[in-house]
């Protein structure tokens, strides 16, 4: 028979003794889980691995822009770009790691080269004769060649290789070569680069994002939502859903796998980090089972909001974002959830985030924690200060 209890302690912010302990023994560090998407968290992740090798990163597979978009259109696969970049952020960069594999995975083919020259470079990689792959020892080299060969064989003759990420091409081949399953290939490449943390997609499914705007417009596709590859949206976002394909409005959803559920429920800390508010953060909370798993976890949940301007946040104050974050989590739960969706709002002690509504925060039982999180560069978090602050909660 087992039982559980909650133990309260006085919290220091930052708790330098606790942080030093984790830095001394990162292999015994806490399980800090991040819901994130693109590159916004990569620099923090690169610092975070110095303190714990047990962070968990649930990454959105719904991106539809950049070089990932070409692979998605070609093979109808989940987006792999953010997976690859987070794996690289967590890769062991010491002499114990695999720097040759890291260099290969982070390399991009030239943006300006002719199509025939790009095909020749890909062929050299497949043959194992490119300088980036020649230095990789077997059996890793042979495995990478196999997956690249699958991609090479499957892409159409007019596939645009300009600026293509080699890591993305390898992962796409692995996906196609493993019965269209992404999890096995992510696990394999995590081992190849000796990732000091765990990276997974929230869903192993090829879905897209759809939003309805306040003006009634419907927009399909992450790349049309962010305001980075296209013009900013003409109206604030009213609601978002997971969509099957990019041509028609086809709302859908899937339940998260048991290992995702277990990871969320067992995390020592859950962090809602900076990043595109809808397409990176809230998108991760949409799959069935995410909200329920969050509210089954008694440990701290912390929201670290964006600095500066995020086009997706137009019309949303910080308090509105807090409400939408909580409501998105709670939409997946029963009426009575065992634990909260959010416990702490972590803010820099000098940055102006806008007016805080103490009545709203009190009603949600959200505590505001202010501590130095920004150093010299305004509108940019200091990665080490953020890591120390988050680790002080656990």
List, in order of start, the domains of the chain with CATH numbers.
Answer: 16-60+254-392 (3.40.50), 67-76+93-179 (no CATH), 206-252 (no CATH)
Predicted model pTM: 0.91
- Comparing 223 with 389, the larger pLDDT belongs to 389
Distances (CA, A) of 260 to 59, 198, 216, 240, 369: 11, 11, 34, 22, 28
- Comparing 250 with 37, the larger pLDDT belongs to 250
What dihedral do alpha carbons 200, 201, 203, 205 form, nearest 10°?
-120
Tell me the pLDDT band of 8, cut-offs 50, 70 and 90: low
Tell me the pLDDT band of 110, cut-offs 50, 70 and 90: very high
Tell me the pLDDT band of 334, cut-offs 50, 70 and 90: confident
Taking the CA atoms of the chain, what radius of gyration do you get in angstroms? 21
Distances (CA, A) of 371 to 14, 78, 135, 389: 8, 38, 46, 8
**Average pLDDT of the residues in 126-150:** 92
For β-strands 269-272 and 301-303, DSSP reports them as parallel
Q: Is 320 helix (H, G, I), strand (E, B) or coil?
A: helix
Tell me the pLDDT band of 6, cut-offs 50, 70 and 90: low
Nearest to 71 by CA among 179, 198, 163, 6: 163
Pairwise CA distance, residues 159 & 19, whole Å = 48
In eight-state DSSP terms, residue 235 is S
For β-strands 344-348 and 301-303, DSSP reports them as parallel
Q: What is the pLDDT of residues 206-229, one digit of tens each?
A: 899 999 999 999 999 998 898 777
For residue 129, the model assigns a pLDDT of 93
pLDDT tops 70 at residue 2:
no
């Amino acid at each position: 028979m087992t039982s559980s209890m909650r133990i309260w302690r006085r919290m220091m912010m930052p708790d330098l003794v606790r942080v030093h302990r984790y830095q001394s023994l990162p292999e015994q560090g806490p399980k800090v889980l991040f819901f994130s998407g693109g590159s916004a968290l990569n620099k923090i992740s690169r610092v975070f691995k110095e303190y714990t090798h047990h962070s968990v990163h649930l990454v959105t597979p719904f991106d539809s822009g950049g070089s990932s978009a070409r692979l998605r259109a070609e093979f109808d696969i989940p987006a792999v770009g953010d997976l690859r970049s987070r794996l690289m952020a967590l890769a062991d960069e010491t002499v114990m790691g695999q720097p040759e594999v890291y260099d290969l995975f982070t390399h991009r083919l030239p943006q300006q080269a002719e199509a025939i020259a790009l095909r020749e470079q890909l062929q050299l990689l497949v043959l194992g004769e490119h300088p980036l792959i020649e230095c990789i020892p077997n059996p890793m080299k042979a495995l990478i060649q196999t997956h690249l060969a699958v991609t090479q064989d499957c892409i159409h003759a007019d596939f645009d290789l300009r600026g293509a990420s080699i890591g993305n091409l390898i992962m796409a081949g692995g996906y196609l070569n493993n019965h269209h399953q992404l999890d096995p290939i992510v696990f394999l490449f995590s081992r190849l680069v000796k990732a000091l943390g765990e990276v997974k997609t929230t869903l192993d499914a090829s879905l897209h994002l759809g939003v309805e705007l306040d003006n009634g417009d419907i927009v399909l596709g992450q790349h049309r939502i962010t305001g980075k590859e296209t013009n900013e949206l003409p109206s604030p976002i009213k609601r978002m859903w997971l969509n099957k394909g990019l041509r028609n409005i086809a709302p859908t959803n899937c339940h998260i796998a048991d290992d995702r559920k277990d990871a969320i429920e067992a995390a020592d800390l859950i962090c809602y980090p900076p990043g595109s508010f809808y397409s990176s953060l809230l998108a991760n909370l949409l799959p069935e089972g995410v909200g329920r798993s969050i509210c089954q976890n008694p440990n701290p949940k912390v929201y670290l909001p964006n600095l500066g301007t995020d086009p997706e946040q137009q019309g949303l104050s910080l308090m509105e974002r807090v409400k939408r974050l909580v409501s998105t989590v709670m939409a997946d739960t029963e009426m009575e959830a065992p634990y909260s969706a959010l416990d702490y709002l972590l803010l820099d002690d000098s940055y102006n985030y806008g007016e805080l509504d103490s009545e709203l925060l009190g009603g949600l039982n959200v505590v505001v924690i202010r501590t130095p999180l920004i150093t010299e560069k305004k509108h940019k978090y200091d990665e080490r200060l953020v890591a120390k602050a988050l680790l002080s909660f656990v």
